[in-house]
């Protein structure tokens, strides 16, 4: 199926969805979407993204292992540190996004257990039927991470245009050894993030959350004369 959605509409329509139906995306459509995403640009056209698409029983097994690790408070071992670098306006935006999400879910800020349960939904891929885990091989680092980011948005827009929802998740990269073990990968494949995707379950309260964006005056600097 060739989607009719314009790029503008796809960009505006895409949002992070955190609750999915069990229905899988047909394999032929997955092939079409991932073929399209291959057209993302990259430094020197090296195309170094290594997406691993996990579905069905393999995803169930992996999510169970990730949820178990998080529930047991197993030490986090991300390939890139996920420490709090957000200050000032960035921290405010982070808090705003969290408040909107927890607000939609009816989770009180001081309710530690409810917040942990909400966090664990990440490790369960929000019940999505598919997740794609984004790897880069060693020694690639920050410069090449740009390519992964551009690839990821290209992929999410291709999904959106076909009515398929997604959520990029740094939380899926907190236990890389578990993911690597399940996918049969060596330690030189470093995990940056994952993206859960599938058809939105509109009945999930978290999916009512909406975040905004700053005006361009706060972000873009135009230089001319
Ligand atoms: C690289 C990346 C990592 C993210 N990690 C998470 C995550 O671990 N859990 C989550 O619920 N959302 C995560 N998000 C989603 C962001 O919270 C979301 O994109 C942001 O709040 C803007 O909302 P929108 O995607 O609905 O427009 C991530 C997004 C990106 C791009």
Torsion-angle region of residue 80: left (phi > 0), alpha (psi -120 to 50) or beta?
Answer: beta
3-class DSSP string for 195-222: EEEECECCCCHHHHCCCCCCCHHHCCCC
In a mutational test of the pocket of ligand 1, which residue from 79, 80, 170 has the highest number of ligand atoms less than 8 Å from its CB? 170
CA distance 185 to 141: 18
Can you tell me the mean pLDDT for 55-70? 98
**Tokens representing residue 171 in the block:** 């939380």
Is residue 225 one of the residues assigned to a domain?
A: no
Can you tell me the mean pLDDT for 146-153? 98
Domain extent for 31: 7-82+123-210
Can you tell me the mean pLDDT for 41-54? 97
**For the chain, counts of helices (H) and of strands (E):** 7, 4
Is residue 88 one of the residues assigned to a domain?
A: no
Is residue 175 one of the residues assigned to a domain?
A: yes
Atom of ligand 1 lying closest to residue 171 CA: 8
Is residue 158 one of the residues assigned to a domain?
A: yes
Is residue 93 one of the residues assigned to a domain?
A: no
CA of 16 to the centre of ligand 1 (A): 6
Is residue 35 one of the residues assigned to a domain?
A: yes
- Give 84's pLDDT tier (boundaries 50, 70, 90): confident
Per-residue confidence (pLDDT) for residue 82, from 0 to 100: 76
**pLDDT surpasses 70 at 137:** yes
Is residue 196 one of the residues assigned to a domain?
A: yes
Is residue 147 one of the residues assigned to a domain?
A: yes
CA distance 221 to 219: 7
Per-residue confidence (pLDDT) for residue 109, from 0 to 100: 87
Could you report the per-residue pLDDT of 169-209, keeping only the tens digit for each?
999 999 999 999 999 999 999 999 999 999 999 999 999 99
Q: Count how many domains the chain has.
A: 1
CA distance 69 to 57: 18
Can you tell me the mean pLDDT for 122-136? 98
| CATH number for the domain harbouring residue 159 | 3.40.109.10
pTM above 0.95, yes or no: yes
């Amino acid at each position: 199926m060739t989607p009719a959605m314009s790029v503008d509409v796809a960009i505006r329509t895409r949002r992070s969805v955190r609750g999915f139906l069990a229905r899988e995306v047909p394999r032929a459509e997955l092939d079409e979407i991932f073929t399209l995403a291959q057209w993302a640009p990259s430094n020197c056209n090296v195309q170094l993204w290594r997406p691993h698409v996990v579905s069905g029983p393999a995803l169930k097994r992996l999510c169970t292992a990730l949820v178990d690790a998080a529930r047991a408070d197993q030490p986090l071992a991300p390939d890139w540190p996920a420490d709090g670098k957000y200050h000032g306006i960035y921290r405010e935006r982070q808090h705003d996004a969290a408040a909107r999400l927890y607000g939609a879910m009816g989770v009180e800020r001081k309710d530690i257990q409810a917040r942990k349960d909400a966090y664990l939904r990440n490790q369960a891929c929000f019940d999505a039927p598919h997740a794609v885990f984004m790897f880069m091989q060693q020694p690639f680092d920050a410069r090449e991470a740009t390519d992964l980011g551009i690839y990821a948005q290209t992929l999410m827009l291709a999904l959106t245009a076909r009515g398929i929802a997604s959520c990029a998740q740094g939380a899926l990269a907190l236990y890389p050894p578990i993911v690597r073990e399940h996918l049969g990968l060596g330690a030189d494949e470093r995990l940056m993030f994952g993206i859960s995707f599938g058809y939105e379950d509109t009945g999930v309260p978290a999916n009512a959350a909406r975040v905004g964006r700053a005006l361009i005056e706060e972000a873009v600097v135009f230089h001319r004369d």
